[in-house]
Amino acid sequence: MQEVILNIVAKANAYLSDYILIFLLVGVGLFFTIKTRFVQVRCFGEGMKAVFGNIKLRGGKQEGGLSSFQALATAIAAQVGTGNIVGASGAILVGGPGAIFWMWIIAFLGMATIYAEAVLAQETKTTDENGNVAGGPVYYIRKAFPNGFGKFLSAFFSVAIILALGFMGTMVQSNSIAESCNTAFGVPGWVVGLILVVVSAFIFLGGIQRIASVTEKMVPVMACLFLAGGLIILVCRIQFVPQTIGMIFKFAFTPSALIGGGIGYALKTAISQGAKRGLFSNEAGMGSTPHAHAMANVKKPHDQGVVAMIGVFIDTFVVLTMTALVVITCLYTGNGILAGLQGEAYTAAVSGASAVVSKTSAMQMAVGSVFGTGFGNIFVAICLLFFAFSTILSWNFFGKVNVEYLSKKNKIATAIYSVVAIAFIFLGTQLKNDLVWELTDFFNYLMVLPNAIALLALGKIVAKAAKK
Residue 69 is predicted with a pLDDT of: 81
**Between 90 and 432, the higher pLDDT residue:** 90
Q: Which residues pair with 134 in a beta bridge?
A: 126
pTM: 0.90
3-state secondary structure of 38: coil
Residue 317 is predicted with a pLDDT of: 93
Q: What is the pLDDT of residues 159-171, one digit of tens each?
A: 999 998 889 888 8
Q: Please report, to the nearest 10 degrees, the dihedral formed by the alpha carbons of residues 184, 188, 191, 195 taken in order.
A: 20
Q: What is the pLDDT of residues 285-315, one digit of tens each?
A: 889 999 999 999 999 999 999 999 999 999 9
Residue 136 pLDDT exceeds 90:
yes
Q: What is the pLDDT of residues 252-274, one digit of tens each?
A: 999 988 888 777 878 888 887 88
Residue 37 is predicted with a pLDDT of: 95
Average pLDDT, the chain: 88
- Kindly report the number of other CB atoms within 10 A of residue 353's CB atom: 4
Q: DSSP H helical segments within 336-432, as ranges?
A: 343-350, 362-371, 373-407, 411-428
User: Cα dist. 451→25, 265, 272, 368 in Å?
Assistant: 11, 29, 20, 41
230-239 average pLDDT score: 96
173-186 average pLDDT score: 86
Residue 366 pLDDT exceeds 80:
yes
**Between 375 and 19, the higher pLDDT residue:** 375
Residue 65 is predicted with a pLDDT of: 66
3-state secondary structure of 262: coil
Which of 11-25, 52-66, 319-333, 374-388 holds the top average pLDDT? Answer: 319-333
Domain residue ranges in the chain: 2-461
pLDDT band at 26 (very low <50, low <70, confident <90, very high): confident
Residue 433 pLDDT exceeds 70:
no
408-416 average pLDDT score: 91
Counting Cα atoms < 13 Å in the Cβ hemisphere of 233 gives: 30
Residue 54 is predicted with a pLDDT of: 62
Do 412 and 248 meet the contact criterion of CB atoms below 8 Å apart?
no
Percent of the chain with pLDDT over 90: 48
**What is the domain class of 2-461 according to CATH?**
mainly alpha
Residue 92 is predicted with a pLDDT of: 92
**Between 41 and 62, the higher pLDDT residue:** 41
53-59 average pLDDT score: 60
Residue 63 is predicted with a pLDDT of: 55
What b/e string do you get for 140-177 counting C-beta neighbours within 10 Å, with b at 16 or more? bbbbbbeeeebeebbbbbbbbbbbbbbbbbbbbbbbbb
- Report the alpha-carbon angle 152-154-159, nearest 5: 95
Do 193 and 286 meet the contact criterion of CB atoms below 8 Å apart?
no
Cβ neighbourhood burial of 187 (10 Å; 0-12, 13-18, 19+): middle
Spatial distance between the Cα atoms of 345 and 464, rounded to a whole number of angstroms: 53
pLDDT band at 61 (very low <50, low <70, confident <90, very high): low
